[in-house]
Structure 1
Amino acid sequence: MSFRSIIQDMKGEIGNISRKGFDVKFGYGMRSRSHSHRDAQDISVVLDGLKQSCWANMPPELLRDVLLRIETSEDAWPARKYVVACASVCRSWREIVKEIVKSPEVSGKLTFPISLKQPGPRGSLLQCYIKRNRTKQTYCLFLGLNQASTEDGKFLLAARKCRRPTHTDYIISLNSDDVSRGSSTYIGKLRSNFLGTKFTVYDAHPPVGAAKVTKSRSTRLVNLKQVSPRVPAGNYPIAHISYDLNVLGSRGPRIMQCTMDAIPASAVEPGGAAPTQTQFLHTRIDSSPSIPFFRSKSTRIENSLSVPLSNQKEGILVLRNKSPRWHEQLQCWCLNFNGRVTVASVKNFQLVASPKNGVSAQAQENVILQFGKVGKDVFTMDYQYPISAFEAFAICLSSFDTKIACE
């Protein structure tokens, strides 16, 4: 049976139940209080029936076996969309699908939107590519093994460049048609300084294990509940990126460093673990009504959040770009991208664990993120554990930005 017929059957059943509910509620004239009470009970039964269709009442053992077979048979998009369709049938299906579908760390697959915030697979790079639109100043991330294919692959994330007088923002969204901070699909941003040498990655939701907003004097009691000032969305720093200055103008590759505030350095070692989100988190600060407060206090809160946790806590992961070698015959700096990069560009890089982490020599040689040019406006982006697709995309966006003091 196809998914279309399943949905049609469910709609027909819900329609029958709805008509029965209409007859129960409005099929009689004036009634006594006892009859009204009985009608209310009948209506509650009808509402329960609306929540539980025949598909929701399938035996859990049979349902689990069916969904497990579907999940294991769908390896790539667009076929994998049927796994998501199963999770949309009803609540019981959704809960079982969430149990069956493993995180990208284990399965190496991106299924639900939360997968973009979870660390990538261990031991292998998850291959993606970025398409740039110079006219609209937008960047789209796709999941695909072959960036030269005619199909765009599976869309993952979109970003839009916003120039400011003193900095540049890259707004990141789950929807390519609505890339704005006011959108419900907004998940974070990348902000640069004036010179384009330092960047901060902000998450729209409080990440697991990251710094929480501290209490301030402007915290008040409203209706006996504590309500804090509303912090702007995307004000949770999770990574800091810096590029070394090139004031002498010497020719050579860029030197960059990434401090991952929410990931421990031990995550790159065998058996190490990085924080993994299971759902998009919302705090009381996000849901509480905004309380006006002075700009100076707001600035102090934002500045306190933008301070790297490396100054506060030791043992967090620091990534550096892998040093390229000079090729005498080609007369250029070269890195081994295993065929994933075909065009020489100053934007190309590979990130590995920094020796500052105190990790083993083997872990320092393991490429965690690589980014490179394959066409005029097409770039590959391959990443793996312990960073997520969202973090990898934000780091790659920093390479697109103009760097006054680096080139």
Structure 2
Amino acid sequence: MSFKSIIQDMKGEIGSISRKGFDVKIGYGLRSRSHRVVQDVPVPLIDALKQSCWANMPPELLRDVLMRLEAAESSWPLRKHVVACAGVCRSWREITKEIVKTPELSGKLTFPISLKQPGPRDSLLQCFIKRNRSTQTYHLYLGLTQALTDNGKFLLAARKCRRPTCTDYIISVDAEDMSKGSGTYIGKLRSNFLGTKFTAYDAQPPHAGAMVAKSRSTRLVGLKQVSPRVPAGNYPVAHIAYELNVLGSRGPRRMQCVMDSIPASAIEPGGVAPTPTEFPVGSVDSFPSIPFFRSKSSARSESYSSGPLTSPKDGVLVLKNKAPRWHEQLQCWCLNFRGRVTVASVKNFQLVASPENGQASQEHEKVLLQFGKVGKDLFTMDYRYPISAFQAFAICLSSFDTKIACE
């Protein structure tokens, strides 16, 4: 029996049991037209997950099967089978959460929560962004091959919203539903009037003790009386600033990113960055198509592997763009993107950690995020630890915005 047929068999069995449980529930809750109670004796609901024969598999056997599957299907689209196993039942989900490692350790994006977790330490995770000018939307994809033209695995989407005094980029995990009041909303990017300063907001606290920023958008969501399960918080996670250019030079942009939720020590050997292990319970059901939204490779019960910055002296991670060099023969500014960027653009950049006290180390020379143009509306985005896909996407979105004072 193939693995695909096993999954279909499990879904059919669980579905039939769920329908039986639903029929029993509503059958004893009906009232006649004369408003008399037909029967009000409480009947225990059938737990479809416990009745499934798949839930009763010996844990040792189940763990061995899932470990083999995790090792064999290491990339998308086959990796969807690993995700499907986490949706079978509670016991399968818990074991899958223990086996599947975070992107920091595995270099893989498996569950939606992986988009909020730091990328791999030893390599850049290669993604790309597709821009749609007519709809003012941006879609982030995970590269499935080394080619720059593959279809990729969809990760995030953003929609540009122009306002009189600023510009908002609403970020969602749904390619079709990109509204602030939606259950798929996970954050936003907001610019100032000149387009020189941006703030990236996370809809959920990036670490324990994170402070929410009150804003007009938060109050508006409250006025709409949306479901309380819909995340509507504004937690600042990054501040991006582009240097003003009063001379109007067409030279490269200069930018700096202050990562509010990442300590400066995270880039050092043994350094730790906040790693959310699951979305808050209140927002799990906001993603009905992803019942197995919680994920993490650790057995720890804490929601975050590291707390907030303990004191101001710890500092936060500051990123700056790597200065390009002038190429005399090509007569242009150049950066080594190692083949990942093919079109010259003022939007292209590489971010490295800003050295402290003027003393640069090898860790400060590593490119943590690079973004560049490869087609008319196609851009590559590669990131690594301690930045997450969500944070990297927000930073790259700032490069698309028109900057009146910079160019």
Q: TM-score range by the shorter chain?
A: 0.7 to 0.9
Contact 1:206-1:281 at 8 Å conserved across structures: no
Which residue does 2:12 correspond to in 1?
11
Q: Which has the larger share of helix?
A: 1
Contact 1:130-1:379 at 8 Å conserved across structures: yes
Is 2:338 the partner of 1:342?
A: no
Which residue does 1:353 correspond to in 2?
353
Which residue does 2:135 correspond to in 1?
136
Cα deviation 1:97-147 (Å, max 9, x = unaligned) = 001000000000000000000000002000000000000000000001547
AA aligned to 1:250 is S
CA distance in 2 between counterparts of 1:343 and 1:17 reads: 54
AA aligned to 2:367 is V
AA aligned to 1:8 is D
User: Among the aligned pairs, what percent are the same residue?
Assistant: 71
Contact 1:209-1:262 at 8 Å conserved across structures: no
Which residue does 2:292 correspond to in 1?
none
Matched residue of 1:161: which SS?
strand
AA aligned to 1:176 is A
Written as runs of structure 1 = structure 2, the 5 A alignment for 1:190-269 is 190-209=189-208, 211-213=210-212, 233-269=232-268
Q: 1:405 to 1:13 in 2, by over 3 A?
A: closer
Contact 1:269-1:359 at 8 Å conserved across structures: no
Displacement after TM superposition at 1:13 (Å): 6.6
Which residue does 1:331 correspond to in 2?
331
Which residue does 1:278 correspond to in 2?
277
CA distance in 2 between counterparts of 1:22 and 1:181 reads: 36
Which residue does 1:221 correspond to in 2?
none
Q: 1:256 to 1:279 in 2, by over 3 A?
A: same
AA aligned to 1:11 is G
CA distance in 1 between counterparts of 2:322 and 2:365 reads: 8
Which residue does 1:386 correspond to in 2?
386
Displacement after TM superposition at 1:346 (Å): 0.3
- Number of matched pairs: 358
Which residue does 2:363 correspond to in 1?
363
Contact 1:173-1:186 at 8 Å conserved across structures: yes
Name whichever of 360-369 and 196-205 sits farther off.
Answer: 360-369
Contact 1:14-1:50 at 8 Å conserved across structures: no
Give the gaps of 5 or more residues in structure 2: 29-38, 215-228, 287-308
Contact 2:238-2:259 at 8 Å conserved across structures: yes
Which residue does 1:155 correspond to in 2?
154
Q: CA RMSD in A?
A: 3.2
Which residue does 1:78 correspond to in 2?
77
AA aligned to 1:105 is E
Give the alignment's TM-score, normalised by structure 1. 0.80
Which residue does 1:317 correspond to in 2?
317
AA aligned to 2:322 is K
AA aligned to 1:200 is T
CA distance in 1 between counterparts of 2:27 and 2:232 reads: 47
Cα deviation 1:335-364 (Å, max 9, x = unaligned) = 000000000000000000001377751111
Displacement after TM superposition at 1:250 (Å): 2.0
Give the gaps of 5 or more residues in structure 1: 28-35, 216-229, 288-308
Cα deviation 1:42-94 (Å, max 9, x = unaligned) = x53x7246533110010000000000100111121101000001111111101
Q: 1:196 to 1:282 in 2, by over 3 A?
A: farther
Contact 1:372-1:381 at 8 Å conserved across structures: yes
Matched residue of 2:367: which SS?
coil
Q: 1:214 to 1:105 in 2, by over 3 A?
A: closer
Contact 1:10-1:53 at 8 Å conserved across structures: no
Structure ID, larger Rg: 1
CA distance in 1 between counterparts of 2:205 and 2:26 reads: 46
AA aligned to 1:253 is P
